[in-house]
Copies of this chain bind each other. A is one copy, B any other.
C-alpha cells in the first residue's frame, strides 16, 4: 500500500472542501468525466493543491470513498499468469482483502451503498473504473462484450460479499478461502472469458 510520506496532511478545512467537491463531481459526472481542475475550482483551491494533498485522481477517488486498498496494486497479482485461472485468483484476492482488517471499510461501504443512491453511484463508478476495467483490459475480450462480462462478475462478487459478510449465511460465511475460490472461481472465469449463452 502506498504510504503517502511525501504528502502533507494539510489544512483540515481545505482537505474537507476538496473531498466534498470531489464526492459531488464523481457522483454526478462519473470518474472519467470529473476533472481535478473542476474539483479544485469547486473547492476554491489551486489544482496543484489537490494533487499535493491527495495524489492522483485515482487516489483522490479512493479517499472520497474511504477505500483503504489500491486495486492498481493488487490486480497485477490477479492478472499475472494470463487468462487461465484468473477467476480463481480474483476470488482469492478479493477474499484476502475483505477478510483482512481493511475489509471492515469495504463492508461499511457496501451497507451504505444499499441505502444511499449516491454511495451506490460511487460504488458503481469504483467497480467499473478501478476494478473491472483493469481486469478486462488485460484479457483478450471483444470490447462489445466488456460491459456485460464486467457486470456479471460484479453480480458474483457482490453476492459473495453480501452472503459472507452481511447476511452471513453458513457455510459460506466461515468457509476457508480456498474452498470458495475453487467453487466460485470457475464462475468468474466463465463470466470473463467463457461462453455466455446457455
Contacts and interface: CB of A to CB of B under 8 A. Distances in A.
Interface of A: 88, 110-111, 113-115, 120, 123-124, 127-128, 147-148, 151-152, 154-160, 162-164, 166-173, 175, 179, 181-187, 190-191, 196-198
A156 B187 contact: yes
A110 to B, nearest CB: 7
Contacts of A197: 182-183
Nearest to A182: B198
Nearest to A148: B171
Q: Which of A127, A159, A166, A196 has the most CB of B within 10 A?
A: A159
B171 A151 contact: yes
Stoichiometry, copies per complex: 2
A154 B172 CA distance: 9
B159 A172 contact: no
A113 B187 contact: no
A36 to B, nearest CB: 25
7 contacts: A111-B115, A114-B115, A128-B169, A155-B159, A158-B162, A182-B197, A186-B198
A197 to B, nearest CB: 5
A123 B173 CA distance: 14
Nearest to A87: B198
B168 A120 contact: yes
B151 A172 contact: yes
A2 to B, nearest CB: 27
Contacts of A182: 196-198
A155 B166 contact: no
Contact of A156 (B147, B159, B186, B196): B159
Q: Which of A114, A185, A191 has the most CB of B within 10 A?
A: A114
